[in-house]
A and B are shown apart, each in its own frame.
Chain A
Amino acid sequence: MADERHRLADRVYRWLLRLFPQEFRGDFGEQMTDDFNDQRADAVAEGGMALARLWWRTLRGFAWLAPGEHLQILLRDASYGLRLMRRHSLATTAAIVTIALGIGANTAMFTVIKAILLDLPYKDPERLVAILTDSPKGYSAAVTLPQLDTWNHTTALEGLFGYWSMSPVVTGAGEARRVRCECASAPIFTVLGGAPLTGRTFTAQEDTEQAESVVVLHERFWTQVLNRDPNAVGRSLTLDGTPSTVIGIMPATFVGPRGRDVTDAWLPLTDCLRRFRAEKRTLMFVNAYGRLRPGESPRVVEAQLSAAMEAGAERSSSARVHLQPLTEQLVGDIRTLLLALFAASVFVLLIACANVASLLLGRADTRRRELAIRVAIGCSRAGIVRQLLTESLVFAMLGGAVGLLFAHWTLQLLVPSMPGWIPGLNRITLDTPVLAGFLVISLTTGLVFGVLPAWSASQVRPGTVLKDSVLGRRPARKRLRAVIVIAEVTLSVALLAGAALLLKTFLHLRPDNPGFDPARKLVMLINLPRGRYPDATGWRTFIDSLRQRISSEPAVESVEATSIVPLSGNINQATVQEDAAVAPMTVDAPIVTPGYVDAMRIRILRGRALSTRDERGAPEVALVNETLARRLWPTADPVGRSLSVELFGGTSSAVIVGVVADVRSSGNKLGARPELYVAFAQHPSSIMRVIVTTYEPADRMAPILKRHVAAIDPALPVGDAEPLTALVAGSVATWRFAAMLLGAFAGIALILAALGLFAVVGCWVAERTSEIGVRMALGASRARVLRLFMVSAGSLTIVGLLAGIALAALTTRFLSEWLVDTTPLDRSAFAGAGMVMIATALTASYLAARRATTIDPIIALRSE
Chain B
Amino acid sequence: MASDARDPQRYLPLTPALFHVLLSLADGEKHGYAIIKEIEERTGGTVRLSTGTLYGIIKRLLQDGWIRDSVFGSTDRRRAYRLTAFGRKVAQAEADRLRELVRAADRTTLYPTAAKG
Task: Check A35 against B32 for contact (C-beta < 8 Å).
Answer: yes
B11 within 8 A of A: no
Q: Which residues of A contact B48 (CB under 8 A)?
A: 57
Q: Which residues of A contact B77 (CB under 8 A)?
A: 30-31, 34
Q: How far is the CB of B14 from chain A (nearest CB, A)?
A: 17
8 A Cβ contacts from B32-62 to A = 32-33, 36-37, 48-56, 58-59
Q: How far is the CB of A73 from chain B (nearest CB, A)?
A: 12
B89 within 8 A of A: no
Task: Check A31 against B36 for contact (C-beta < 8 Å).
Answer: no
A36 within 8 A of B: yes
Q: Which residues of B contact A64 (CB under 8 A)?
A: 52-53, 56
Given contacts A24-B59, A31-B79, contact A62 B32 (CB under 8 A): no
Task: Check B32 against A69 for contact (C-beta < 8 Å).
Answer: no
Task: Check B53 against A34 for contact (C-beta < 8 Å).
Answer: no
A28 within 8 A of B: yes
Query: Can you show 18 pairs from A to B with CB atoms below 8 A apart?
Result: A24-B55, A28-B55, A31-B32, A31-B55, A32-B51, A32-B52, A32-B55, A34-B77, A35-B33, A35-B36, A42-B37, A58-B51, A60-B50, A61-B49, A64-B52, A64-B56, A65-B56, A68-B56
Task: Check A38 against B56 for contact (C-beta < 8 Å).
Answer: no
Q: Which residues of A contact B99 (CB under 8 A)?
A: none
Q: Mark A65-89, 1 if CB is under 8 A from B, else 0.
A: 1101100000000000000000000
Q: How far is the CA of A68 from the CA of B57 in the complex (A)?
A: 12
Task: Check A61 against B52 for contact (C-beta < 8 Å).
Answer: yes
Q: Which residues of A contact B79 (CB under 8 A)?
A: 31
Q: How far is the CA of A58 from the CA of B54 in the complex (A)?
A: 10
Q: How far is the CB of B51 from chain A (nearest CB, A)?
A: 5
Given contacts A32-B32, A34-B78, A35-B33, contact A61 B59 (CB under 8 A): no
Name the residue on B nearest A62 (C-beta): B52
8 A Cβ contacts from A12-33 to B = 24, 27-28, 30-32
Q: How far is the CA of A35 from the CA of B58 in the complex (A)?
A: 13
Q: Which of A32, A66, A69 has the most CB of B within 10 A?
A: A32
Task: Check A31 against B52 for contact (C-beta < 8 Å).
Answer: no
B88 within 8 A of A: no
Q: Is the interface of B mostly helix, strand, loop or mixed?
A: helix
A39 within 8 A of B: yes
Q: How far is the CB of A64 from chain B (nearest CB, A)?
A: 7
Q: Which residues of B contact A42 (CB under 8 A)?
A: 37
Task: Check A65 against B32 for contact (C-beta < 8 Å).
Answer: no
- Residues of B bordering A, CB below 8 Å: 31-33, 36-37, 48-56, 58-59, 77-79
Pick from B33, B53, B55, B56: contact of A39, CB under 8 Å: B33
- Residues of A bordering B, CB below 8 Å: 24, 27-28, 30-32, 34-36, 38-39, 42, 54, 57-58, 60-62, 64-66, 68-69
Q: How far is the CB of B2 from chain A (nearest CB, A)?
A: 26
Pick from A35, A54, A66, A68: contact of B54, CB under 8 Å: A35
Q: How far is the CA of A35 from the CA of B49 in the complex (A)?
A: 11
Q: Which residues of B contact A62 (CB under 8 A)?
A: 50, 52
Q: Which residues of B contact A65 (CB under 8 A)?
A: 52-53, 55-56
Task: Check A36 against B51 for contact (C-beta < 8 Å).
Answer: yes
Q: Which of B50, B53, B58, B59 has the most CB of A within 10 A?
A: B50
Q: Which residues of B contact A38 (CB under 8 A)?
A: 33
Closest 8 CB pairs of A and B: A61-B52, A61-B50, A35-B33, A35-B32, A61-B53, A57-B50, A65-B56, A28-B55
Q: Which residues of A contact B31 (CB under 8 A)?
A: 31, 35
Q: How far is the CA of A64 from the CA of B53 in the complex (A)?
A: 8
Given contacts A24-B59, A38-B33, contact A31 B50 (CB under 8 A): no
Task: Check B51 against A35 for contact (C-beta < 8 Å).
Answer: yes
Given contacts A31-B31, A34-B78, contact A69 B50 (CB under 8 A): no
Q: How far is the CA of A54 from the CA of B50 in the complex (A)?
A: 8
Q: How far is the CB of B62 from chain A (nearest CB, A)?
A: 9
Given contacts A31-B79, A69-B56, contact A58 B33 (CB under 8 A): no
Q: How far is the CA of A60 from the CA of B54 in the complex (A)?
A: 12
Task: Check A39 against B52 for contact (C-beta < 8 Å).
Answer: no
Q: Which residues of A contact B50 (CB under 8 A)?
A: 54, 57-58, 60-62
For the complex with contacts A30-B77, A64-B56, A66-B52, 12 further pairs of A-B residues with Cβ separation under 8 Å are A28-B55, A31-B77, A32-B51, A34-B33, A35-B31, A35-B32, A35-B51, A42-B37, A57-B50, A61-B56, A62-B50, A68-B56
Task: Check A28 against B33 for contact (C-beta < 8 Å).
Answer: no
Q: Which residues of A contact B33 (CB under 8 A)?
A: 34-35, 38-39
Q: How far is the CB of A185 from chain B (nearest CB, A)?
A: 67
Q: How far is the CA of A336 from the CA of B58 in the complex (A)?
A: 60
Q: Which residues of B contact A60 (CB under 8 A)?
A: 50
Q: How far is the CB of B71 from chain A (nearest CB, A)?
A: 16
Q: How far is the CB of B58 from chain A (nearest CB, A)?
A: 7
Task: Check A31 against B56 for contact (C-beta < 8 Å).
Answer: no
Q: Which residues of B contact A58 (CB under 8 A)?
A: 50-52
Q: Which residues of A contact B37 (CB under 8 A)?
A: 42
Q: How far is the CA of A756 from the CA of B110 in the complex (A)?
A: 75
Q: How far is the CB of B50 from chain A (nearest CB, A)?
A: 3
Q: How far is the CB of B31 from chain A (nearest CB, A)?
A: 7
Q: Which residues of B contact A34 (CB under 8 A)?
A: 32-33, 77-78
Q: How far is the CB of A68 from chain B (nearest CB, A)?
A: 8
Q: How far is the CB of B107 from chain A (nearest CB, A)?
A: 37
Q: Which of A35, A36, A57 has the most CB of B within 10 A?
A: A35
Q: Which residues of A contact B54 (CB under 8 A)?
A: 35
Q: How far is the CB of A244 from chain B (nearest CB, A)?
A: 73
Q: How far is the CA of A500 from the CA of B35 in the complex (A)?
A: 75
Q: Which residues of A contact B59 (CB under 8 A)?
A: 24, 27-28
Q: How far is the CA of A69 from the CA of B63 in the complex (A)?
A: 13
Q: How far is the CB of B67 from chain A (nearest CB, A)?
A: 13
Q: How far is the CA of A38 from the CA of B78 in the complex (A)?
A: 12
Name the residue on A nearest B79 (C-beta): A31
Name the residue on A nearest B48 (C-beta): A57
Q: How far is the CB of A523 from chain B (nearest CB, A)?
A: 77
Name the residue on B nearest A46 (C-beta): B45
Q: How far is the CA of A66 from the CA of B36 in the complex (A)?
A: 20
Q: How far is the CB of A284 from chain B (nearest CB, A)?
A: 78
Q: How far is the CB of B8 from chain A (nearest CB, A)?
A: 24
Q: Which residues of B contact A24 (CB under 8 A)?
A: 55, 59
Task: Check B78 against A39 for contact (C-beta < 8 Å).
Answer: no
Q: How far is the CA of A294 from the CA of B32 in the complex (A)?
A: 63
Name the residue on B nearest A69 (C-beta): B56
Q: Which residues of B contact A39 (CB under 8 A)?
A: 33, 36, 51
Pick from B36, B49, B53, B58: contact of A28, CB under 8 Å: B58
Name the residue on B nearest A68 (C-beta): B56
Q: How far is the CA of A62 from the CA of B54 in the complex (A)?
A: 10
Q: How far is the CB of A28 from chain B (nearest CB, A)?
A: 4
Q: How far is the CA of A57 from the CA of B52 in the complex (A)?
A: 9
Q: How far is the CB of A16 from chain B (nearest CB, A)?
A: 9
Q: Which residues of B contact A68 (CB under 8 A)?
A: 56
Q: Which residues of A contact B49 (CB under 8 A)?
A: 61
Name the residue on A nearest B54 (C-beta): A35
Q: Which residues of B contact A32 (CB under 8 A)?
A: 32, 51-52, 55
Q: How far is the CB of A695 from chain B (nearest CB, A)?
A: 84
Q: How far is the CA of A61 from the CA of B50 in the complex (A)?
A: 6
Q: Which residues of A contact B52 (CB under 8 A)?
A: 32, 58, 61-62, 64-66
Name the residue on A nearest B50 (C-beta): A61
Q: How far is the CA of A39 from the CA of B49 in the complex (A)?
A: 10
Given contacts A24-B59, A39-B36, contact A31 B53 (CB under 8 A): no
Q: How far is the CB of B98 from chain A (nearest CB, A)?
A: 24
Q: How far is the CB of A76 from chain B (nearest CB, A)?
A: 12
Q: How far is the CB of B20 from chain A (nearest CB, A)?
A: 14
Q: How far is the CB of A180 from chain B (nearest CB, A)?
A: 67
Q: How far is the CA of A199 from the CA of B88 in the complex (A)?
A: 76
Q: How far is the CB of B73 from chain A (nearest CB, A)?
A: 13
Q: How far is the CB of B52 from chain A (nearest CB, A)?
A: 3
Q: How far is the CA of A66 from the CA of B51 in the complex (A)?
A: 12
Name the residue on B nearest A29 (C-beta): B55
Name the residue on A nearest B35 (C-beta): A35
Q: How far is the CA of A35 from the CA of B80 in the complex (A)?
A: 12
